[in-house]
Amino acid sequence: MAEPTSVNDQITDSVTQPNVKVLGESPMRPKALQVILCGGLIAGTLDLTAACISSWFRAGVDPVRVMQSIASGLLGAEAFSGGATTAVLGVALHFLIATVATAVFYFASRKLRFLVEHAVTAGLLYGVAVYMFMNFVVLPLSAIPQRAAPSLSGRIIGLFIIMLCVGLPIAIIVRWFSRPHGVSAS
């Protein structure tokens, strides 16, 4: 009777060999997608939660209005009269943005290894970069209705939310998935 491990090896080989041909020789493709989707989901959830809590406590703005304000970047003022439909669109856009932010960091970390080696510092600095890009490039180019500039305290709170809820988790997730299996973090 054959050893159970040799049978398992034969089964594993027969299952994985066709997958290598379909996916190509690089085992990074499924891993990259996994990292990017995981990072986008976690950063998006943390950021949206923090935005809703902050908006509620600072101005009494309910979560649906926060989500509609995200959709207003695409739809303009009409987003605020769209009810649940534009709120859902706002959530989808929010997670798309978080996923793109994760993808940018992930692909940069493939070439700039210090982003993984110093994940906390890199993540916090990436959060600053994301905040600056969103607030000084994306938002001015979007269809968001004109409004007064945020107060200094609003800017500081927004910056810290992006640093702690977007940049830091993305960097930590990328670092986590970049470590070889069985190797502990140092």
Q: Which pair of tokens denotes residue 152? A: 């200094």
Question: What is the C-alpha separation between 94 and 92, in angstroms, rounded?
Answer: 5
Residue 10 maps to a domain: no
Residue 9 maps to a domain: no
Residue 20 maps to a domain: no
Instruction: Give the chain's domain count.
Output: 1
Residue 82 maps to a domain: yes
Residue 12 maps to a domain: no
Residue 106 maps to a domain: yes
Residue 8 maps to a domain: no
* pTM greater than 0.75 (yes/no): yes
CB-CB contact of 126 with 109 (8 Å): no
Q: For residue range 41-70, list pLDDT tens digits in order.
A: 999 999 999 999 999 999 999 999 999 999
**pLDDT tens across the length of the chain (186 residues):** 445 555 445 444 444 444 444 444 455 455 999 999 999 999 999 999 999 999 999 999 999 999 999 999 999 999 999 999 999 999 999 999 999 999 999 999 999 999 999 999 999 999 999 999 999 999 999 999 988 889 999 999 999 999 999 999 999 999 999 876 544 554
CB-CB contact of 14 with 76 (8 Å): no
Residue 147 C-alpha from the chain's centroid: 27
Residue 115 maps to a domain: yes
Domain that holds residue 81: 29-178
